[in-house]
Amino acid sequence: MNGTQRYVLSGLVAGTLALGVFQGSLARGVSAEREGAQAVLRNANGDPVGITKFTEEAGKVLVRVVVHDLPPGFHGFHVHAIGQCIPAGFISAGGHFNPAGQTHGHHGGDLPVLYVNGDGSGEARFKTDGFAVADLFDADGSALIVHALPDNYANIPARYVSAPDATTLATGDAGSRIACGVVE
């Protein structure tokens, strides 16, 4: 084999290796896509008001949400236990996703509050280890809810009351449900 043949052969080997690396990363991308989920958030009229995407990333779930046309301010934002969004108050979504049976503030589905700007838009991005994407697809599915009020995570200083009431412990006093999206 002469020098030119070796050069061509080494180029073919390098190209084949590069193609293998590319195909491997493409396969990982497809697999990562399968490990994701999303929920299109809709208001009580059925109008889309946002989208939330869930992807697995280094043992945690990356949650990305973009909303529009919502009331300004802080809003409770939770994964709920049932994958239904019947507009009559979105009660069909059940309580917070809570596979470990914890009090509010420690539910698997408790997420950071969502801030909506004065123009009705908002965005958030965070990671959680409260659930895996696969957990959201249990027998009755899951839904994402945006509440009318901020969530206090059942965190009421003792100087105000002796103990939080049952509603605070269960829901964080986040109020009514103003948007819902079934996790798909």
pLDDT at 168 over 80: no
Note the pLDDT of residue 174. Answer: 86
> Contact at 8 Å (CB) between 111 and 78?
yes
Note the pLDDT of residue 2. Answer: 53
**109-154 tens-digit pLDDT:** 999 999 999 999 999 999 999 999 999 999 999 999 999 999 888 7
pLDDT at 104 over 90: no
Q: Which of 70-74, 107-111, 161-165, 170-174 has the highest mean pLDDT?
A: 70-74
pTM above 0.85, yes or no: no
What's the average model confidence in pLDDT over 22-33? 38
What's the token pair of residue 178? 């103003």
CA-CA distance, 168 to 97, in Å (whole number)? 16
**43-89 tens-digit pLDDT:** 999 999 999 999 999 999 999 999 999 999 999 999 999 999 999 99
Note the pLDDT of residue 173. Answer: 82
Quick one: three-class SS letters along 80-140?
ECCCCCCCCCCHHHCCECCCCCCCCCCCCCECCCEEECCCCCEEEEEEECCCCHHHHHCCC
Angle at 52 between CA 46 and CA 53, to 5 degrees: 135
pLDDT at 5 over 60: no
What's the token pair of residue 173? 């006093």
**Range in 23-27, 43-47, 73-77, 173-177 the model is least confident about:** 23-27
